[in-house]
Amino acid sequence: MSGPTQRSSTPVVSNIRKGAVHQWSRTLIPTTREAPKDAEVPSHVLLHRAGFIRPVGAGIYDYLPLAHRTINKISAIVREEMEAAGASELLMPALEPFELFKDTKRDEAYGDNLFRVMDRKKRMNALAPTHEEVITELMRGCISSYKQLPLNLFQIQTKFRDEARPRAGLLRCREFLMKDAYSFHSKLEGPGGLNETYDAMYAAYTNIFTRCGLDFSAVEAESGPIGGSASHEFMVNCASGEDTVLKCKASGYAANVEKCEIGPRKAPSAGYFVGEPTGTLEEVHTPGLPGIEDVAKHMKVKPENMLKTIVFKVESTPEEKAKFGEEWIIAVVRGDHDVNEGKVRDISGCKIALADPKEAEAKGFAIGFVSPRAAVGKAGVLLLVDRDAAVGFDDAKGKSMFWVTGGDKKDYHIKHFNWVRDFGKDPLAAQAHAADKGYAQGGLRGGDKYLVVGDVRNALAGDPSPRAAGSNLETGRGIEVGHIFKLGTKYSEAMGLQVPDEKQQRSTVIMGCYGIGVSRTMAACVEMSHDENGILWPVALAAYHVVLTIMDVGSARQQAEAKQLATQLSAQGLDVLIDDRDERPGVKFKDADLIGIPVRLVLGDKALDAGGVEFKLRKDTQGKGGVVAMGEVVAAVVGAVNG
């Protein structure tokens, strides 16, 4: 893989720079025992209690001194690795004129999530959620030849999204700090191509999150418009994560639910669809039942015995629509499974969207009650059936498969659906096309395969691994902190970013996009690393490396020793916080644990009389620590921090 070398570890501190020395009494660290009333996750609770953040409004926060120091440390690591990967930093405005959305239509795509601001001259602007249009417009005015490419530009900037329900503290808020980078290329492959930079960004992100001390996974995500393995999300692994990740331990494969492939599934012994009817079709009235679970309970069947049918509309160009008319795709999965829109798109090979209910009903689809039979007799309709739904004989039970499906009219379902008897056309031909992929080969636009069996559902734990025969997928949870993907020509084509190539022919510039949630990374780290006493910061992200706790602030001896020791530690590049508050020792110890500083040194007369100080690591939850000789304490702290 090209780009910077992937590192497993980097020393956190050295004496190249002098560390900071601050007094607790002279900075703002408002610790509290009370959690916010709206707190839903540990990071929200602990960042508030430890005095890192305070709410200003819904989804808007003050970042207090401790948080600001941690964010600066994350940002410094990001800058170092981005620059090592060949990127240059710039800064773009947070305010974007609406004219920039004229060609990309992203103001429509973002909808209510876009903050809209009208200026005094009645011109509409937006608070930037991302900066694709701004950077593309900049490049359109600055580059005039392929010889100026590749370029990779990044910024660390405040972003805005008008979340309808901001929650979980910094994990989902309306104002947040993000690193976004954009690369520009004249080609996809080879030196200077998008793929080379993509690999460099993958390595840089691996370095960034490794240096931050995070337990993370790089998982395959939904591909960009170029296709292939063109998108990766970087997830902090933690049980409270909001995203589901599927992994194969044998191969190391990992992907999110939207992307995860499923390994080969054993076909039914009788072949797809083959099986005798389990009874005469029986129509059941099912009014006011909005979901599969409700219908299954009402009909006294299990969800896995139901067929879930989702209708998609093909988003055609005006030219395609004039030539082929309206085109539809019906995807069928088992009732306990979910249709994967990305897989439906990939098999069909076209741009799709969930069908508008009114438009679909006008076509004859009874949305919410559609059966596979709805594809029969309709021109321009392709039926995609998941392998687990294309079963006529249940091998495990040794009998024909009992299916319930929609009744193709409002408020009705039917029992005893049988593929061969009830579909209306011979579905057995689909067996020959079970592995087919490609829109041109489907039952649209002149193709003869109106029905295709394939992988169209979300993967689940226990499914066969797509990378290691005999292994199964396992489920994990994670919080997305970074995402790299290949934009291709989505924005450059829309906004007319072209340069002359080697043959002086104007060519559309190819783009990549690479984001890291900086403030989100801080919160995700807390989700990953905390205990009942507070935060457990990785050394690289801790606001301070060591806290010096003075037992008796009235003792001139303890004050002098703390000052001298802080100077020695600072000279080694360590950031030091001196707890000089006139508080009881117990309060100080609890606060030190709460804010999560990795090393605590306690200066009391007993330890000083013994020629040392009490040394305790935050991660060591048992005992009070031990006394380290004064002449050895600096080396002990440096060793603990860099070890």
Q: pLDDT by residue (tens digit) across 608-637?
A: 999 999 999 999 977 678 999 999 999 999
Over residues 143-156, the pLDDT tens digits come to 999 999 999 999 99
What was the pLDDT predicted at 318? 86
CATH number at residue 556: 3.40.50.800
548, 519: one domain: no
pLDDT digits (tens, 9 = 90+) for 262-281: 999 998 998 889 999 999 99
Confidence grade of residue 322 (pLDDT, cut at 50, 70, 90): confident
Mean pLDDT of the chain, nearest integer: 91
d(CA 459, CA 500): 44
Q: Give the three-state DSSP class for 49.
A: helix
Structural Rg of the chain based on CA atoms: 30
Let me know whether 68 and 158 are in one domain: yes
Residue 472, SS3 per DSSP: strand
**Is 70 exceeded by the pLDDT of residue 253?**
yes
Structure tokens, 359: 């438009």
The pLDDT of residue 199 is above 80:
yes
Same domain (yes/no): 151, 243: yes
CATH number of the domain to which 506 belongs: 3.30.930.10
The closest alpha carbon to 432, from 297, 272, 312, 543, belongs to: 272
Tell whether 506 is covered by a domain: yes
Mean pLDDT on 433-456: 58
pLDDT, tens digit (0-9, with 9 covering 90-100), for 406-422? 999 999 999 999 998 98
User: Which DSSP string corresponds to 7-45?
Assistant: -S---S--TTSPPPEEEGGGS-----SPPPTT--SHHHH
Tokens (6 digits) for 266? 């054993």
**Whether the Cβ atoms of residue 299 and residue 286 lie closer than 8 Å to each other:** yes
> Coil, strand or helix: which one is 88?
strand
Three-state SS sequence of 140-207:
HHHCCCHHHCCEEEEEEEEEECCCCCCECHHHECCEEEEEEEEEEECCCCCCCCHHHHHHHHHHHHHH
Same domain as 491, residue 416: no
Output the six-digit token pair for 298.
């009402």
CA proximity to 382, closest of 438, 317, 435: 438
CA distance 454 to 433: 9
Domain range for 219: 50-89+129-261+477-526
pLDDT of residue 437: 39
Average pLDDT over residues 448-453: 74
Edge-to-edge strand ranges of the sheet holding 124-127 = 95-97, 124-127, 115-118
Q: Is residue 243 situated within a structural domain?
A: yes
229 pLDDT above the threshold of 60: no
| pLDDT score for 432 | 43
Q: Both 370 and 253 in a single domain?
A: no
Q: What DSSP line would sit under 257-302, residue for residue?
A: TTT------PPPTT-TT----SSS-EEEE-TT--SHHHHHHHHT--
Q: How many domains does the chain have?
A: 3
Specify the pairing of strand 612-617 against strand 60-63: unpaired
Same structural domain, 446 and 486? no
Q: Are residues 410 and 316 in the same domain?
A: yes
State the pairing for strand pair 534-535/530-531.
antiparallel
